[in-house]
Amino acid sequence: MNRRQKNIYQRIKKRVILLLILMTLTVLGIIITSMAMASTLKTASSVVNIFGRQRMYTQAIAKNASRTSVLYTTIDSDEAIQNVDLLEQKLAKSKEQLIADRDTFTEVFKHLAEGYVDVDGEQFVINAHIMAALEADVSELHNLWIPFSDAVDVIANSNGIDLAFREALIFINENNEDLLYYAQHVTDGFESMIIDDYTRYRNITILLVGILILNAAGLVVLLYSYLFSALDVFYNEIEKLGIDHDHGVNIMQNRSLIDEIKLLLVGFKETLELVERINASGSFSETLKDIYESFSHYLPYTYIGIALLKEDDPTRIVASYGIGEEQHPGLAKELLHYEAKLHETSLGRIMETNRPRVINDLDAYFKIHEMREYSRIIMKHGIKSSITLPLRANEMPLGFIFFSSNQKDVYQEKHIEYLKLISNSIALSFEKNIFSEELVYSSVLALAKLSEARDEDTGEHLKRMSHYVGVIAEALSETDRYKDVIDQNFITNIVRFSPMHDIGKVGIPDYILLKPGKLTAEEFEMMKFHTVYGANVLNEAEMNVQRSGRSLFQMGIAIALNHHEKFDGSGYPNGLIGEAIPLEARIVSVADVFDALLSKRPYKEPFTMEETLRIINEGRGKHFDPFIIDVFNANLERLTAIQHLYLDS
């Protein structure tokens, strides 16, 4: 190599090293800002949930204070319909709950004033600049809470209704809304500043990704300019030699090497573009679809599945997403929500070692390994080989991603390394999209649970009803009428949003909501408005979400507004008829009434199963969609199993 060639080589080497250093520093910056975003969202989710509980405690305090007054009046009355001892027990319980709610609110408020919140023993520190901005609202809340807490003490320590008791009760009822207002104001202020912080981190991340892409593009151009130019010269020079293919090497083989290198560089470029699209993506489902369509032309897969660790029990794994319907129709739907214990599967080992597993012949594999139910499902749908990779974000395990093919012996070592990169992109998208959606969703769900908490007799209504809804929706999806209408996203969303059907009851006064008897015509008209209130609450949340370019609460709005519409048009609020009522609302209506009839309420005792089924079937074609009632009856065994599960728990 002469001096000129050495200078060119050194110059290229320095440029490549410089670009690699810049790319490394940029990647580190992206990782740091991503961790900061994740930490910000995690803290925000915890703090918003705590604030939501604070609002719930203020409502509960007002309810129990009023209930204490009612119990005193009933005990002193000669017309008490219950045993006095039982009434006194309820009185003592109400007082205990008053003190417990007051103490919990005070403890959280104390921690907030010190700059942190405590969630199950884990402390989440609130940034100093956020605390400074919230100082005025926190001060107002403090000034109102002190006399409010004193009034709670008066009622909890009273021996009857005297002047002090009446003044305390009046103070609580008159100031409860103000307390809710200031608590909400603190929450809104906190959320606004968290969004600002998140936006700042996001913009920094976008900038760093842009820098990374520019550096990568520069590296690609540099390599292409020198590497492929050299290969072309080499190829042309060899061709000039005129080697006889019958006695020498077939030089055209070099072309396959060039084509493979070009293909890898194209894949590298597409991966960088994918990272950019992930950052701008509206939802995780869109990202998964984008990945499936972008890489299937040079990576051998016909199906992508994702199983996630359960948030409330990370020892269990749940099939959560799947894409590949054209090649494997029905597979994603059949696997969705399939649940297993992690240690009873081979996936636990993959998570421990953080290494991918390749099975190039599933038929041969299961001749020597135990086949579980989920394995039978994928084999039934034509899966012949697969690669399983662990999903992690910020070193935290999230679950697994499965790249599967309907052909045997298709996966090679080069595929594993490339799929690792794609799985990391998926983990990034999952953390970004799902976590931010959960922040908004959990805030609204806390409000739904607040409306439920006002009536202690509703118990586990929201959980039971969402399970009933899931069974009915899945059964409908298997019918010819709805198999093309109800997909796995519909089922996931209706299960998720059905607990919000009565969220509007937060706007209904206690004297109507908790009335132990039939409502008057005027009271019933007021009660009807809970459908409109609920739709308005969720629409407000939807408008906030749409500002970030996505939609989240459309199904929840339809359910909240229409779940009291009746098939014959006699329902409310709009008197819709038949299939003009959204399908999700028609499904929720059946599940809601089924659970309500079987449950104790302030105005009734629970009905028997026989009475409940009689009432529901009498409403076929009147109150309820007749086709849904037929499916309901066909799946009654599954529904009653859910009811018995809650009775036994």
Q: Are residues 482 and 620 in the same domain?
A: yes
Using DSSP, state whether 282 is helix, strand or coil.
coil
18 within some domain: no
Mean pLDDT of the chain: 77
Point out the domain boundary residue: 386, 403, 435.
Answer: 435
> What average pLDDT does the segment 398-407 reach?
88
> What average pLDDT does the segment 230-241 reach?
49
Q: Are residues 649 and 567 in the same domain?
A: yes
- pLDDT more than 70, % of the chain: 72
**313-325, pLDDT tens digit by residue?**
888 888 877 888 7
Q: Are residues 510 and 626 in the same domain?
A: yes
- 468 vs 186: CA distance, rounded Å: 37
Q: Are residues 350 and 491 in the same domain?
A: no
Given pLDDT bands bounded at 50, 70 and 90, which one contains residue 428?
Answer: low
> What average pLDDT does the segment 90-105 reach?
85
Task: Specify the pLDDT at position 449.
Answer: 57
- 155 vs 149: CA distance, rounded Å: 10
128 within some domain: no
> What average pLDDT does the segment 419-442 reach?
59
565 within some domain: yes
Q: Are residues 610 and 472 in the same domain?
A: yes
Task: Specify the pLDDT at position 119.
Answer: 66
- 552 vs 491: CA distance, rounded Å: 14
More confident: 546 or 333: 333
Axis-axis angle for helices 3-76, 84-113 (nearest 10): 150
**626-642, pLDDT tens digit by residue?**
999 999 999 999 998 88
Point out the domain boundary residue: 405, 435, 465.
Answer: 435
Q: Are residues 410 and 463 in the same domain?
A: no
E strand segments, 506-560: none
Given pLDDT bands bounded at 50, 70 and 90, which one contains residue 538?
Answer: confident
The answer to whether residues 328 and 381 touch, using CB atoms and an 8 Å cutoff, is yes
The DSSP secondary-structure symbol of 456 reads G
Q: Are residues 428 and 505 in the same domain?
A: no
Point out the domain boundary residue: 435, 462, 480.
Answer: 435
**pLDDT higher than threshold 70 for residue 143:** yes
Provide the residue count of the chain: 649
The answer to whether residues 103 and 160 touch, using CB atoms and an 8 Å cutoff, is no
120 within some domain: no
More confident: 536 or 427: 536
- 507 vs 450: CA distance, rounded Å: 11
Given pLDDT bands bounded at 50, 70 and 90, which one contains residue 589?
Answer: very high
Q: Are residues 508 and 597 in the same domain?
A: yes
- 75 vs 103: CA distance, rounded Å: 27
> What average pLDDT does the segment 263-274 reach?
52
Task: Specify the pLDDT at position 488.
Answer: 77
More confident: 224 or 597: 597
Range of the domain at 610: 454-649
In the chain, % helix, strand, coil (3-state, to 5) comes to 70, 10, 25
**pLDDT higher than threshold 60 for residue 166:** yes
- 306 vs 267: CA distance, rounded Å: 22
Task: Specify the pLDDT at position 125.
Answer: 72
Token look-up 């132990």 returns: 516
**pLDDT higher than threshold 70 for residue 382:** yes
Task: Specify the pLDDT at position 243.
Answer: 41
More confident: 477 or 101: 477
Task: Specify the pLDDT at position 246.
Answer: 43
210 within some domain: no
**pLDDT higher than threshold 80 for residue 469:** yes
Tell me the CATH number at 504.
Answer: 1.10.3210.10
Highest mean pLDDT among 211-220, 337-346, 540-549, 579-588: 579-588
> What average pLDDT does the segment 13-21 reach?
76
**pLDDT higher than threshold 90 for residue 241:** no
Task: Specify the pLDDT at position 459.
Answer: 46
646 within some domain: yes
E strand segments, 369-470: 385-393, 396-405
Task: Specify the pLDDT at position 1.
Answer: 47
Least confident of 20-24, 248-252, 421-425, 565-569: 248-252
H helices present in 281-372, as ranges: 284-295, 331-335, 347-353, 362-368
Task: Specify the pLDDT at position 46.
Answer: 65
Given pLDDT bands bounded at 50, 70 and 90, which one contains residue 623?
Answer: very high
Q: Are residues 465 and 572 in the same domain?
A: yes
Closest CA to 109 of 150, 151, 137: 137
**pLDDT higher than threshold 70 for residue 265:** no
Task: Specify the pLDDT at position 300.
Answer: 83
The set of residues, in sequence order, having a beta carbon less than 8 Å from that of 209 and lying 6+ positions away, is 30, 275, 276, 279
- 436 vs 550: CA distance, rounded Å: 11
554 within some domain: yes
Highest mean pLDDT among 150-159, 513-522, 616-625: 616-625
The answer to whether residues 181 and 144 touch, using CB atoms and an 8 Å cutoff, is no
- Assessment of whether the complete model's pTM goes beyond 0.85: no
> What average pLDDT does the segment 93-106 reach?
85
Highest mean pLDDT among 267-276, 402-411, 638-647: 402-411
Q: Are residues 359 and 472 in the same domain?
A: no
Least confident of 42-51, 295-304, 319-328, 404-413: 42-51
Q: Are residues 529 and 421 in the same domain?
A: no
Sign of the alpha-carbon torsion through 571, 574, 575, 581? negative
The DSSP secondary-structure symbol of 81 reads S
The set of residues, in sequence order, having a beta carbon less than 8 Å from that of 26 and lying 6+ positions away, is 208, 211, 212, 215
Task: Specify the pLDDT at position 176.
Answer: 79
Task: Specify the pLDDT at position 423.
Answer: 67
Q: Are residues 404 and 543 in the same domain?
A: no
Using DSSP, state whether 393 is helix, strand or coil.
strand
20 within some domain: no
Tell me the CATH number at 430.
Answer: 3.30.450.40
**pLDDT higher than threshold 70 for residue 239:** no
Q: In total, how many domains does the chain have?
A: 2
Helix or strand run (H / E) with residue 22: helix 3-76
Task: Specify the pLDDT at position 543.
Answer: 77
Task: Specify the pLDDT at position 165.
Answer: 86
- 439 vs 46: CA distance, rounded Å: 9
Least confident of 30-39, 242-251, 489-498, 534-543: 242-251
Structure tokens at 494: 């209706």
- 541 vs 545: CA distance, rounded Å: 6
Q: Is the peptide bond before 499 cis (omega within 30 degrees of 0)?
A: no
- pLDDT more than 90, % of the chain: 15
